[in-house]
Amino acid sequence: MKIIRTLYDMTEYRVQQRDRGASVGFVPTMGALHEGHMSLVKKAVEENMVTVVSVFVNPIQFNNKEDFAKYPRTEEEDFKLLASAGVDAVFAPTAEEIYPEENCDNKEYALGTVAEVMEGKYRPGHFQGVARVLDILFRLVDPHRAYFGEKDFQQIAVVRNLVKSEGLKVEIVACPIKRANDGLALSSRNSRLSEEQRKAAPEIYETLKYSVEYSKDHSVRATHDTVVEHLDAIPGMRVEYFQIVDARTLQPVEEWEMSDWIVGCITVYVGDVRLIDNITYRTPH
Ligand code: PAF
């Protein structure tokens, strides 16, 4: 596996792959890899001649300095995992390499209303930061396909809008959430949970699952409230938001009949660790 650190070397690698007509799959990550990431990598390896993975903790998508400082970094282990999964190249640049002073153009991306709700509202600037780094990475790696996990349900909708508005030629592949045996959605942030918090955290998914049953004979409002009340009552847990939304527009629904595809997206603080998850209430037939 090739380890690439500079934009120049990445471009050179990409040109080599293009010259030999290779299809390229790309998995952008911030490292601290777990089975969720590895399921994206596996799919990319299966579907493309060459797989490139980026490992870059993108400073400009963190609206909270402490969250950025505490984000787990496990580069050596990450590289071992990627090599054993058959990845061809890992791109792990420094922040100076991605954002040199002369590249501070503060471009505003047209991401649409899907970027204004939920994470967009609670993490100001987050999606512009994600869009900036992906714009740079997509242009550099120039992949045929890029793989994203559905745990970040909203991010996928935002990335699709980025691709459309920037006229980028990459297919966005959405992959199902990977969960631990007890149901907790896998996340790099799980490693920051204490033993006690880790024991409590599966209650997030348990509550979401229960709410799907509950929703069958209750209103959207009642389903929302039961989830929030249940989780807020657990010591050390605080729901930042829970929104039941149309899965295409990500705008809130007030009645189950308002859409044929409805998901509930949640963000919960367990101590000071911010975890996200989602569940489907209605799927189109
Ligand atoms: O989902 C993530 O890990 C990040 O938002 C991404 C897509 C790698 C951009 O930094």
3-state secondary structure labels for all residues of 23-86: CEEEEEECCCCCHHHHHHHHHHHHHCCEEEEEECCCHHHCCCHHHHHHCCCCHHHHHHHHHHCC
Position in ligand 1 atom list of the atom nearest CA 130: 9
* DSSP H or E stretch at residue 220: helix 220-232
The pLDDT score that the predictor gives to residue 105 is 67
The pLDDT score that the predictor gives to residue 210 is 98
User: Residues of the chain whose pLDDT is less than 70?
Assistant: 102-105
The pTM assigned to this predicted structure is 0.97
Contact 271, 237 (CB under 8 A): no
Question: Cα torsion for 269, 67, 242, 258, to the nearest 10°?
Answer: -160
Minimal-distance CA residue to ligand 1 atom 3: 29
Q: How far apart are CA 88 and CA 266, in angstroms?
A: 35
Burial pattern 75-102, b for ≥16 Cβ within 10 A else e, equals eeebbebbeebebbbbbbbeeeebbeee
* DSSP H or E stretch at residue 222: helix 220-232
**Residue appearing with tokens 């409230």:** 225
The pLDDT score that the predictor gives to residue 101 is 81
Contact 113, 97 (CB under 8 A): no
Q: How far apart are CA 191 and CA 196, in angstroms?
A: 12
Probe residue for ligand 1, chosen from 38, 73, 98, 133 as the CB with the greatest number of ligand atoms within 8 Å: 133
37 belongs to the catalytic site: yes
Minimal-distance CA residue to ligand 1 atom 2: 29
Burial pattern 201-233, b for ≥16 Cβ within 10 A else e, equals bbbbbebbebbeeebeeeebeebbebbbebbee
Lateral strand order in the sheet of 237-246: 237-246, 262-270, 273-282
The pLDDT score that the predictor gives to residue 95 is 97
Q: How far is the CA of 230 from the centre of ligand 1 (A)?
A: 30
